[in-house]
A and B are shown apart, each in its own frame.
Chain A
């Protein structure tokens, strides 16, 4: 099963969050619709989300601070901007911020799906590897707190994770669903 197909949807508009959440959820992706960057950072820190769809609404300017904060959390994050009021300047800004794509609203969901799939393909599971390493660190820390040490050579320092460890991670986080939007109230 692939675990590297998570999509973060950052939009202050609940209608767009729901639309994109339902669409990509129906495609079998894990979708994490959030209202703002702070919530997005919490998701990035916990779940593999190689792609972020950011709606910049009617504002023509790209949100550099927002993108910087997301990139600091995940340098490999593929960012796709959605804009209702595009200008040449806003696309040039996006290009300089190494944004993956710039999509004008209203958009065709089929086209957006193609762009998202290309972004997921290019991410090559790097985000998943980062999250798994982080979860392993957390589990080891938890074991250490309980006076336990991980079995020799099982996880620590090897960069590898066994099937057994994956089950533990899934149980720890309570996540294993797919085809549904997650992180929604």
Chain B
């Protein structure tokens, strides 16, 4: 089975490390970026099955990053993670068709479940088997 490949975008080292360790332990390929600009560079040059992004980052808002992702890859699943949930950002996330909007601190097993469902559904929709 081909490994799932995800991009984690967060300016907090602790979150990047936590997600790197957890998703790696599940056999996933994981690439981390500490900001939106670096994430866009990675997205232009590499293929991913999923993006997990924070909202509040110094160089680029996670919702702006989601907008850029939508223009590059309309069907690429995005999960928003935020420590500062708000009505406006949730509506913006909904309009950007994100998979989920997860409030920090999150349950990593729950987040993994959501991520797995998103990548499996995308591969199924693309007609890619898991054998």
Contacts and interface: CB of A to CB of B under 8 A. Distances in A.
A87 B103 CA distance: 14
A88 interface: yes
Contacts of A101: 94-95
Contacts of B26: none
| Range for the number of chain A residues in contact with chain B | 10 to 19
Which size class do B's interface residues fall under? 10 to 19
Interface string B77-101: 0000000011100110111001011
A92 B91 contact: no
A95 B85 contact: no
Interface in A76-126: 86-88, 91-92, 94-96, 99, 101-102
Interface residues of A: mostly helix, strand, loop or mixed? Answer: helix
B91 A102 contact: yes
Contacts of B95: 101
A88 B87 contact: yes
B90 A88 contact: yes
Contacts of B91: 91, 102
B39 to A, nearest CB: 21
B86 A94 contact: no
A91 B87 contact: yes
Contact of A87 (B87, B93, B98, B101): B87
Interface string A57-76: 00000000000000000000
Interface in B92-129: 93-95, 98, 100-101
Contacts of B101: 91-92, 95
Interface of A: 86-88, 91-92, 94-96, 99, 101-102
Given A92-B90, A92-B101, A95-B94, 15 more contacts: A86-B87, A87-B87, A88-B86, A88-B87, A88-B90, A91-B90, A91-B91, A91-B94, A91-B101, A92-B85, A95-B90, A95-B101, A96-B100, A101-B94, A102-B91
